[in-house]
Amino acid sequence: MPELPEVEAARKAIEEHCTGKKVRRSVVANDSKVIEGVSPSELESALVGKTIIAALRKGKNLWLRLDSPPFPSFQFGMSGAVYIKGVAVTKYKRSAVSDEDEWPSKFSKVFMELEDGLELSFTDKRRFARVRLLQDPEAVPPISELGPDALLEPLQIEELVNALRKRNTAIKALLLNQARIHPLQIASRLSREDCESLHRCIEEVIKKAVEVGADSSQYPSNWIFHSREKKSGEAFVDGKRIEFIAAGGRTTAFVPELQKLIGVKSVKGKSNQSRKANPDEEEDDEGSKGEEIEKEKEIKRQPKKGKNKKVGSHRQQKVDASGDNSEEANEKEKPKKKNGKKPLAADKTQPKVVKANRNELKSLDIRAKAQAKESSKKRSGSNEASTQQKKKIRK
């Protein structure tokens, strides 16, 4: 999905080619999912005849300051992109519209023709973007709820250290660049040295990406970015193996040799050895792949649908890939009557069990067998001692 560098590249292109020009004509798509809180005709009327004074950005949100409010605001989401006819603007490759496609693209959500004939289009293939018309974009959500902008308002090292100390979650869930830190490392357990390294890398990565206009072909060759779509066993950086796991609800690439897990505590991740090298495969902002990892750490507490149905205590509660129990799965799992008798009701105080993985089950089975063997030996020894004691009494 487009990140800060891609949105900054779009802002720079608009600032360079469109500011100071009046909007002659506008066409807004009839798409209420993307065009939020305003009708197409209202947005068109708010744009036509206005002069673009500036293009501003915070995070992944961009808005145009016109010569008078209201102002159009663009939240890029997963596949939002800005196109200026005849101008090369860096685009996120998975949302890119081909130069051979019709103009404006069928995915165009807001089209503007400027007084000098220059044409600008905001497109969104997957409809996760949001376009709003606001009196003051910075004063209302989502922009007003954002933290400091990583490029314009970088955190000081002390602010970063204090923020991480308060977060008892995996660093991957907080930041996508790990700076030689294991993605499952608990943020609050990072050393001062790790925090300083992370702070330095955040600034270096963002500045470099913005410097090259978010053109990924110009990113340093030793960035894991270039191998993130390869299969496990085929990805290497500087001769070091890259592994893939699910962390924070996302497929995560890391180098075990460089990113070591420190301390005992960490957030469990799941190996993603079978991932496909599919360039179109991407996690969504809403409902990311890999969320089952987080679900497996919790006991299912929500009551089942139905009329006071009781479940056998021996049955494991299965969790599907999305973390929800399907009605079909529940139906199959119902205990059957045996010899015409009703199944025993479950002990309500007994917690439901989340399905464990194969390694955990194997480990539990080995431990159970060992305990049973030890218990059997103790009983055998006790029986033998009791027999000898009885013989002595008889004599």
| Catalytic residue numbers, as ranges | 2-3, 60
Amino acid in position 392: K
Does residue 60 come out as left (phi exceeding 0), alpha (psi in the -120 to 50 range) or beta?
A: alpha
DSSP states of 116-176: TS-EEEEEESSS--EEEEES-GGGSTTGGG----TTTSPPPHHHHHHHHHT--SBHHHH-S
Report the alpha-carbon distance of residue 114 to residue 48 in Å, rounded: 9
Structure tokens at 290: 């890999």
Chain centroid offset of residue 45 CA: 37
Q: Which regions of the chain does DSSP assign to beta strands (E)?
A: 23-28, 52-58, 61-66, 71-75, 80-84, 108-114, 119-124, 130-134, 236-237, 240-241, 243-247, 250-254, 270-271
Structure tokens at 85: 């006819």
Is residue 225 a contact partner of residue 219, using CB atoms and an 8 Å limit?
A: yes
